[in-house]
Structure 1
Amino acid sequence: MSVQAVLAHKMRSLLTMLGIIIGIASVVSVVALGNGSQKKILEDISSIGTNTISIFPGRGFGDRRSGRIKTLTIDDAKIIAKQSYVASATPMTSSGGTLTYRNTDLTASLYGVGEQYFDVRGLKLETGRLFDENDVKEDAQVVVIDQNVKDKLFADSDPLGKTILFRKRPLTVIGVMKKDENAFGNSDVLMLWSPYTTVMHQITGESHTNSITVKIKDNANTQVAEKGLTDLLKARHGTEDFFMNNSDSIRQIVESTTGTMKLLISSIALISLVVGGIGVMNIMLVSVTERTKEIGIRMAIGARRGNILQQFLIEAVLICVIGGLVGVGLSAAVSLVFNHFVTDFPMDISAMSVIGAVACSTGIGIAFGFMPANKAAKLNPIDALAQD
């Protein structure tokens, strides 16, 4: 009978569902956008390693004194690499300058790194080879270039084996990296990688490093490892003239922040659900008034108050659940269109979101349908039959 009652007033039922449809679609869409954004950011973090710790000179990013602190050295990296919880440690130094090939001059950034750096950072080789431990030991004048350098200098030719000049120093191209789609920062920067010994001894002339990238073993706790590294370097330097960037901590912060944002925005979207629930309650009260005589007849032929309560409650829940399912479908359609035009932060509708939407719709139906259903159940059958 509940289904028949809903179908008997199709337009009224549709208009009643509208608030639920909009509310559910809003909540599911917001959560889907939050899930997609969180997944994309975590993928970006994973691309630089979720168990890596980067060590920099100074007190933090933006510390103007960091450029004058020269206590972070190759020896620090070697000592760190020997720790039981460390898988590898690679120093990094960098230099900006003019990159020359034939008659073309470009501004590029050269990074001096160890042979483990590419594995730690999740960088993939497209062609050629990476430099190895022997290249590092021998200060080999070799370089690995990124896709931007290849496109600018070697668009129509094979770069492998070619000699380029960086700050007038010759470097032989031995490899080309794949384009890193998840990379942070400006993707148009021209990047080169050479052994840190080559960069330090032949280009910068410096004995200190800009940073040390540490890969923590899979079975080690990154927080414990960070404390161990802090104590080690404080003992070596005599002071804490460095700071650390723990990728796992960043991941936890991102998860916490996006979770809070999803909860906040979903709470705002829930207001429309409450408004929709009030609309359901109003329509059900009108329905009870219109069907007073029907209720009296049902009671007169033996229907109990519980049967009347159940009928009207099921009607309210049915309207809300159908509205919820339509809302989920609307959200799915929105996500398809959104993902077609926006690829950076895709909407990701999870199974839990759908289950939550149906459960929420059911809850709204019960909460806002109880009062009209209870009113119908409490009608006096004699008064109901006397109603015109």
Structure 2
Amino acid sequence: MDSNTPISNNSANAPLMQVKGLIKEFPAGEQTIRVLHDIDLTINQGEMVAIIGQSGSGKSTLMNILGCLDQATAGEYKIFGQSVSRLDADELAELRREHFGFIFQRYHLLGDINARDNVAVPAVYAGMNGQARSARAEQLLADLGLADKVNNRPNQLSGGQQQRVSIARALMNGGDIILADEPTGALDSKSGADVMKILHDLKAQGHTIIMVTHDPGLAQQAERVIELKDGYVIEDYRTEHYLKTQDQDKVLPEPILAQHRKGKLSSFIDRLFEAFKMSLLAMRAHKMRTLLTMLGIIIGIASVVSVVGLGKGSQAQILANISSLGTNTITVIDGYPWGDPRRRYNDDNLTPQDAQAVADQPYVVSVSPQLDTNINVRYRNVQEAASISGVGQDYLTVSGETLAQGQGFDEQSILRRTQDIIIDDNAKQTFFADNANPIGEVVLIGSVPGRVIGVLEPNDSGFGGQVDSPTLYMPYTTMMSRLVGSPNIERFVALIDDSISSSAAESAISTLIEGRHGTDDFRIRNSDSIRQTIEATTGTMTLLISSIAIISLIVGGIGVMNIMLVSVTERTNEIGVRMAVGARQNDIMQQFLIEAVLVCILGGLLGIGLAFVIGELINRVGGESFKVIYSPASIVAAFVCSTLIGVVFGFLPARNAARLDPVEALSRD
């Protein structure tokens, strides 16, 4: 038989691939360039075919179409009797994953992982069991003479060794059809001969080999040569090698995936883990870029957490100051409401009996009547104008103030109108600067003597507590009878049971006093209303400032998106390799989305850590008067926010990566 015998379409073997009228065109400006013209081919199972031609003849384009990396512009291509043009991207990926194995001239290995992991990548996407996957990868490398190189990365291997790794990768899922693009083009003579021997061995094992080459001598080692010129098939013939091997028994490659395939959920988790691992490797390989990407997230999260902490600390300090007036207190003040014309005619309406009537209510814990005046106070040779407050026996309870020395008033102090007094710290410093223990000392209040029985703790809250002038407290009955000569009080403060709604208690007290007086000749101040107002105000301010801080988070998110877009561009070749070995579009999207989320999560954690550092510095500088109080809710919200930023701003780069054309991706370095 002549060595150039044309192939008959009536092959004894069932057709593996059938191509009819195949045309491939590429856009070139406003025109198109036709690279392949009406190609008709039939390739059978187990053949070893060489596609030969000069550069630009269309041989690599034809191989890419046969390998489902590219699609024809027109014509029909069937594999296993199925039309390829009717398959979507993921179905084409499944074909590449399940049946094809690619051997590239430039190896196209992933530089961040070792030889074993490079070989195992196709099996990850195919859902092969992890243990079986690792064992098979190591066995394939051992069969190709690389048993001692399984942990080496591509840059630690020679060209021939890298090509062997790519061959092992092509066989990982079985590799029914091996597509080799210039498999010896980048190798020395010995390494090239070794690779060809491996291809012949694979042919003998039943694999279909389709090899692209420009070397006629290499092509003659195949069973069949298809020669292209300017996009046309000019020859399709059998070689002498075919004549020598045509009587050999035909075998089929050993099925691999069916033996070790995992369930859908386990396979998905495995692919997710692979994406996670590759994301970590990519971040580690570009540490500075990753850090700069995270910077906006770090600043934004730290700002939000710190601002909320500052707001909480300020709010807590203000509320603590309010509590110095008494917790859950209601103050009833003598006189008509502000702006009422009756106010000028009669302001002496409130009596101790009104206070007692309120004290008798079940929702009231205690009540302290109160009236004030200013008068000169003298102790020995020291005389000073002072504020005098007449209070009830429960004043300390309702006001929240505490004694530093001595004791408070009791029931007998009120009933007997004792001339006992309690002084504040300012009065102590004014009249008893040289006396550490003024208890028992007598001061002259106007013309009325008073004996000191207690000293209050300093109160710098600024809420009705310490003022510039000294303040002295005496029983309100004593003050009414001995100092002001009036049966009325100016106000009384009622401490409300914590289990009772403050607003309900306010309404009940108002109704009670109005019923006693027959008119609304009094005003009510609810400390809880003040608390709510301050909480609302500080909350609004915190929200406002947080909103400003969130802008930095958005800016950081845009930075993440920009860097991820750059990352996609830099790693286009890697994406092409993963698509070639069978990665789905979702697999590619997951990888880049996970990387964006990891960057933002890590940035969020660092931002939270920075916020704690800032808070600690503020707490040390501010001392006891000012504290940053961290809100667990704000920390969780910041963490969730950083994760969402990764998802939102990482989606576009991830989608762009998933939609890349495999052929274009592989062509980029």
TM-score strictly above 0.5: yes
Amino acid aligned to 1:324:
G
Instruction: Work out which of the residue numbers 439, 444, 453 in structure 2 matches 1:160.
Output: 439
Q: 1:291 to 1:327 in 2, by over 3 A?
A: same
Measured after TM superposition, the shift of residue 345 of structure 1 is 3.3
CA displacement, residues 28-79 of structure 1 (integer Å, 9 cap, x when unaligned):
1111111111111222222322321101123457989479500011121122
- In structure 2, the partner of 1:169 is 448
1:229 corresponds in structure 2 to 509
Unaligned runs of 5+ in 2: 1-277
Q: Is the 8 A contact 1:57 1:66 kept in 2?
A: no
Deviation at 1:306, TM superposition (A): 1.8
* Aligned: 1:58 with 2:58: no
Larger radius of gyration: 2
Aligned residue number for residue 374 of structure 2: 96
Matched-pair contact (CA < 8 Å) for 2:331–2:494: yes
Of the structure 1 ranges 348-357 and 48-57, higher mean CA displacement relative to structure 2 is found in: 348-357
Q: Specify which of 622, 625, 633 is matched with residue 352 of structure 1.
A: 633
Distance 1:292 1:67, change over 3 A: farther
The question of 1:126 aligning with 2:126 is answered no
2:520 to 226, 230, 240: 240
State yes or no: 1:382 paired with 2:659.
Answer: no
C-alpha change, 1:179 and 1:314, in structure 2 (3 Å) is same
* Alignment partner, residue 82 of structure 1: 360
Q: Secondary structure at the match of 2:384?
A: strand
Measured at CA, do residues 57 and 63 of structure 1 come closer, stay the same or move farther in structure 2, by a change above 3 Å? Answer: farther
Give CA deviations for 1:169-212 in whole Å, capped at 9, x if unaligned.
21011111222354515544411110001111111112211111
Question: CA separation of 1:175/1:272 partners in 2, compared to 1, >3 Å: closer, same or farther?
Answer: same
CA distance in 2, matches of 1:357, 1:125: 43
**Is the partner of 1:342 in helix, strand or coil?**
helix
Note the alpha carbon deviations across 1:76-121, whole angstroms, 9 max, x for none: 1122222232222221011111111011112211110110111111
8 A Cα contact 2:370 2:489, kept in partner: yes
Structure 1 CA distance, aligned partners of 2:603 and 2:468? 47
Q: Note if contact 1:58-1:66 (Cα within 8 Å) is conserved in structure 2.
A: no
Instruction: Return the match for 2:384 from 106, 112, 132.
Output: 106
Task: Please list every run of 5 or more consecutive structure 1 residues that lacks an aligned counterpart in the other structure.
Answer: none
Partner residue, 2:483: 203
Per the TM alignment, residue 351 of structure 1 is displaced from its structure 2 partner at its CA by 2.6
- The equivalent position to 1:29 in structure 2, one of 289, 302, 306, is 306
- Counterpart contact for 2:348–2:488, Cα < 8 Å: yes
Q: Between Structure 1 and Structure 2, which shows a larger proportion of helix residues?
A: 1
Counterpart Cα distance in 2 of 1:83 and 1:316: 63
Where do residues 191-340 of structure 1 align in structure 2 (5 Å cutoff)? 191-340=471-620
Output the amino acid matched with 1:367.
V
1:62 and 1:348, CA in 2 relative to 1: closer, same or farther beyond 3 A?
farther
CA distance in 1, matches of 2:456, 2:355: 25
Distance 1:277 1:289 in 2: 19
1:130-162 CA distance string (max 9 Å, x none)? 121111111111101112212222233221111
Letter in 1 for 2:414: V
Identity of aligned residues (%): 51
Residue among 146, 162, 167 paired with 2:424:
146
Residue 39 (structure 1) aligns with: 316
Task: Say which is worse superposed, 272-281 or 319-328, in terms of deviation.
Answer: 319-328
Q: Show CA shifts across 1:248-270 (max 9, x none).
A: 22222222332232222212211
